[in-house]
Amino acid sequence: MTLFFAAALIAVVAWAIRRARQHAARAMALREALVSRRPYLQEEEVSEDWRELATAVNELITENQRLRQQGSDRIAQFEATLGSLREAVVIVDESNTIHFANQAVQEIFPRTRGLVSLRLELIARSPAFLDFVRDTHAGKSQPRTEFDLSSSTTPLCIEATGAPIPAPDGRGRWALFVIHDVTRQRQLERQRREFVANASHELRTPLTLIKGCVETLVDGHETMPTADRNRFLKTIERHGHRLEAIISDLLTLSRLESGADRLVQEHFSLQPFLRGVMDDAEQRAKATGHQLALDVPDDLPPIEADAGKLTQILTNLIDNALKYTPSGTAINLVARVVPENGEVELAVRDEGPGIPAEDLPNIFERFYRVEKGRSRETGGTGLGLSIVKHLAQLHSGRVWAESREGQGTAIIVRLPLRAAAA
């Protein structure tokens, strides 16, 4: 009997262990099904309770797959609808994780790759903008708002509008933002304001002097000595010429910047052309006590360019050198071919005081002067180098300056020898 009961007990324990292992294996398979989101394959011989549990798990997995597919379909719909828009569109969830960003967003933030799944805070480090995002999540109605997202190296100004949208699973609220990059517009507005302020100042200075001289002549013309009267008239004449030069340069610059000026291309030899430019400047150089020198190689090829505008470029550069370098120094016009680029390089080099390194990047800006008072004394308008830059660009060329304080300055213009095809 004892052996019988022992054998029965062992059988029961073995059956229980086997059942426990089966349950453990089924539980593990159920867990893997939940993790992998694949339906659980039920066995034939299971209890009713286990069958109900497996059925419930499969229904949960199926519903989860349906919701995920619904979310994917909505994101795909967003991508199809918004992906090709010129406006930058961003969709974020409650935690500001980016779920959608079209190509226009990538163009605004080019240094950040793979925007999807990043936090919005990582690409837009602006407390004001993040407050705007938070208020949008909260459903507050807000007008289009401008934000400065500039870094220490890159200017960036945006305008943003936002609206809350339902999450793809219907359980929560996401937010959609439309962003416009207005950096260029703001820069242009700032340049326009600066230009108006500078132009007003430059025009007001000679006008004020002319007005003062005229008033003095009107009040004292009967008793004023002839020498004083002539001095006032000379001042009026000098500043009248200066006013005329400023207005002429402003009109020239306006035509160049608006694209209204066109090139009249012609094929001509550079050697006689450059000698003619230097001959025309010879009398002005003698009047200021400068020596002019021309350095042109014998094999300098002909060029296709606008001879009138090229004359204007070189005349402006030579006149600048005459105005801002000491009497008795030399001014050289040097020409050379850059064969690897099919270009000619024209450089006006002087022996003047040079330009400080901090001023060098700015000398081609309108009304920029290294020595403001001295420039006005010499009759400069502050627009000559800006005109040179635009004329060089009109020829598909470029211009730059090389200088060291105390060692003179070189303004270098490179132009293609052959005109670009229309």
The CA–CA distances, whole Å, from 330 to 45, 255, 349 equal 107, 34, 8
Together in a domain, 272 and 398: yes
Q: Helix or strand or coil: residue 368? A: coil
Residue 89 domain-assigned (yes or no): yes
Q: Helix or strand or coil: residue 336? A: strand
Q: How many helices (H) and strands (E) are present in the chain, helices listed first?
A: 10, 12
Nearest by Cα to 350 from 380, 376, 383, 320 = 320
Together in a domain, 177 and 98: yes
Residue 422 domain-assigned (yes or no): no
Together in a domain, 271 and 246: no
pLDDT of residue 224: 84
Which residues form the domain of 173?
A: 83-181
Residue 372 domain-assigned (yes or no): yes
pLDDT of residue 48: 60
pLDDT of residue 72: 65
Q: Helix or strand or coil: residue 293? A: strand
Pairing of strands 291-295, 98-101: unpaired
Identify the burial level of 340 via C-beta atoms within 10 angstroms of its C-beta, where 0-12 means exposed, 13-18 middle and 19 or more buried.
exposed
Together in a domain, 287 and 412: yes
Q: Last residue of a domain, which of 52, 76, 100?
A: 76
> How many domains are contained in the chain?
4
pLDDT of residue 244: 83
Together in a domain, 321 and 393: yes
Together in a domain, 282 and 171: no
CA gap 116, 145 in Å, rounded: 24
The CA–CA distances, whole Å, from 279 to 302, 304, 318, 360 equal 20, 22, 12, 29
Residue 54 domain-assigned (yes or no): yes
CATH number at 284 reads 3.30.565.10
Residue 402 domain-assigned (yes or no): yes
The residues with which 180 forms a beta bridge, in sequence order, are 159
Task: Report the residue count for the chain.
Answer: 422
Q: Helix or strand or coil: residue 402? A: strand
CB 199 within 8 A of CB 219: no
Burial 404-420 (b: 16+ CB within 10 A, else e): eeeebbbbbbbbbbebe
Tokens of 214: 């005229």
CB 168 within 8 A of CB 70: yes
Q: Last residue of a domain, which of 162, 181, 200?
A: 181
The pTM for the full model equals 0.57
Together in a domain, 175 and 193: no
CA gap 68, 74 in Å, rounded: 10
Together in a domain, 287 and 387: yes
Q: Helix or strand or coil: residue 127? A: helix
Together in a domain, 227 and 308: no
CA gap 104, 93 in Å, rounded: 20
Q: Last residue of a domain, which of 122, 147, 181?
A: 181
CB 108 within 8 A of CB 181: yes
Together in a domain, 70 and 100: no
Residue 421 domain-assigned (yes or no): no
Q: Dihedrals φ, ψ of 297, to 5°?
A: -70, 155
CATH number at 203 reads 1.10.287.130
CA atoms within 13 A on the CB side of 326: 9
E strand or H helix that includes residue 401: strand 398-403
Residue-wise DSSP of 184-249: HHHHHHHHHHHHHHHHHHHHHHHHHHHHHHHHHHHHHTTTS-HHHHHHHHHHHHHHHHHHHHHHHH
Nearest by Cα to 201 from 374, 384, 367 = 367
Helix-, strand-, coil-residue percentages of the chain, each rounded to 5: 50, 20, 30
Taken in order 102, 108, 113, 115, the sign of the CA dihedral is negative
- How does pLDDT run along the chain (422 residues), one tens digit per residue? 566 666 666 665 565 566 556 556 666 665 665 555 565 555 555 556 656 666 766 677 676 777 666 666 666 666 666 666 678 888 999 999 998 888 888 888 887 777 888 888 888 888 999 999 999 998 888 888 999 988 777 888 999 999 998 887 777 889 999 999 998 888 878 877 877 777 777 788 888 888 888 888 888 877 888 888 888 888 888 888 888 878 887 888 788 877 777 888 899 999 999 999 999 999 989 988 999 999 999 888 999 999 999 999 999 999 989 988 899 899 999 999 988 888 999 999 999 888 888 888 888 887 777 765 545 455 567 788 888 999 999 999 999 999 988 889 999 999 998 865 54
Pairing of strands 145-148, 157-166: antiparallel
Together in a domain, 293 and 243: no
CATH number at 141 reads 3.30.450.20
Residue 13 domain-assigned (yes or no): yes
Residue 242 domain-assigned (yes or no): yes
Together in a domain, 227 and 111: no
pLDDT of residue 57: 67
